[in-house]
Amino acid sequence: MKLAVTAPERLVVRTTEVADPGDLVSRLPHPTALAWVRHGQGIVGWGEAARLALPGGEDRFAVADRWLRDLFANADINDTVQVPGSGPVAFGSFGFDPKSPDSVLIVPRWIVGRRDGKAWLTTIGDEPDPLALVRPPAEPTQLSWSDGTLSALAWEQAVAAAVGRIRDKRLGKVVLARDLTAQAGEPIDARVLLRRLADRFPGCYTFSCAGLVGATPELLIRRTGERVDSLVLAGTTARGIDPADDAERGARLFASAKDREEHSYAAEMVHDALAPLCAELSVPDQPELLTLPNVMHLASPVHGRLGRERSVLDVVAALHPTPAVCGTPTDIALDLIRELEVMDRGRYAGPVGWVDARGDGEWGIALRCAELDGTRARLFAGCGIVADSDPAAELAEAQTKFRAMQYALEG
């Protein structure tokens, strides 16, 4: 595996406690933003002290973990805060497919964080005035929309083909995604999207890394010392038009055999992946209902205690890809995704998050997101397909999932 590395021989890292910085997103001085924020807590960063670009491969998580361990072990670190996310941190996002060349880790030159009543500033190097506003945020203008790789009709046909394979007993579930393209008149500023997403979806993990921006409801894994936590989401319905409609939709989702089957695949896989790593593991027998501003999901919170010292990236490697974003059996589902989607997902539905020098970190699944490239944004949405799936209903679900990022772009 040939790596593209940009890094000094030795990082000089200083972390100090600071007064409450207020809104974290507003601290980002220019559009090249790194962020992981939920309910106002988290970390934001900018600048690049080090970067690793990985060309893909089944061992990309292990390669990334080794590189970071070496980088941080050789660093001169003075961290007086000592909480998860203080000290040097790498933001990262990985390609969904092992064949994807898009995985990247970035160690920012400046980080502002807030967690459990503490706030801190981390600097790498000695450049002054890290909070100077270089460029004010600018809203997207002159937006136009177009289909991505497949038209709506072609995507429905792909769903129908997937249902046929499932009914032929070739696999139990597959997750099919589609993309949309937005074109703006000027380069799109990630900070505007982060601001709108954080305000509208405070319970989601609002993220930005190397042009991938979104707000995911799905926590793949959080490691804090020995403790690990995950939130399995599979099974979705749109919100209702009023409280009575909401309640009816939620009850229907909870009772849906199709959605319960889809959810059970994902929950069982997370249990099976974490069990060998954990001395203790708790997975609920029944899902609960997670209500977000635009959709409702079946959700299963998972908690465990690691059996021995492992970085959060070790656990990410064991979990990805889950049936919530791929299907089951994994290998067959992945091959069918490659055949029917007719596109490279890039980092959509791959792990996104951060890891610090202690191996702590939080990683989500890159959902409800867009890949920014200058004036262009590529949006993604996916749906879990099982034997009872209806192509028109799945297309409607995908359209509902697009709305979060459409709102972020249009306001």
- Catalytically active residues, by annotation: 173, 218
Tell me the two tokens of residue 140.
């997207």
Tell me the two tokens of residue 46.
């900018």
Is the Cβ–Cβ distance between 365 and 321 less than 8 Å? Answer: no
Place of tokens 């042009």: 211
Report how far apart the first and last C-alpha atoms of the chain are (Å, whole number): 42
Q: Which among 229, 316, 308 has a CA at the least distance from the CA of 273?
A: 316
Instruction: Give me the phi and psi of 69, to 5 degrees please.
Output: -60, -45
SS (H, E, C) the chain: CCCEEECCCCCEEEEEECCCCCCCHHHCCCCCCEEEEECCEEEEEECCCEEEEECCCCCHHHHHHHHHHHHHHCCEEEECCCCCCCCCEEEEECCCCCCCCCEEEEECCEEEEEECCEEEEEEECCCCCCCCCCCCCCCCCCCEEEECCCCHHHHHHHHHHHHHHHHCCCCCEEEEEEEEEEECCCCCCHHHHHHHHHHHCCCCEEEEECCEEEEECCEEEEEECCEEEEEEEEEEEECCCCHHHHHHHHHHHHHCHHHHHHHHHHHHHHHHHHHHHEEEEECCCCCEEEECCCEEEEEEEEEEEECCCCCHHHHHHHHCCCCCCCEECHHHHHHHHHHHHCCCCCCCCCEEEEEECCCCEEEEECCCEEEEECCEEEEEEEEEECCCCCHHHHHHHHHHHHHHHHHHHHC
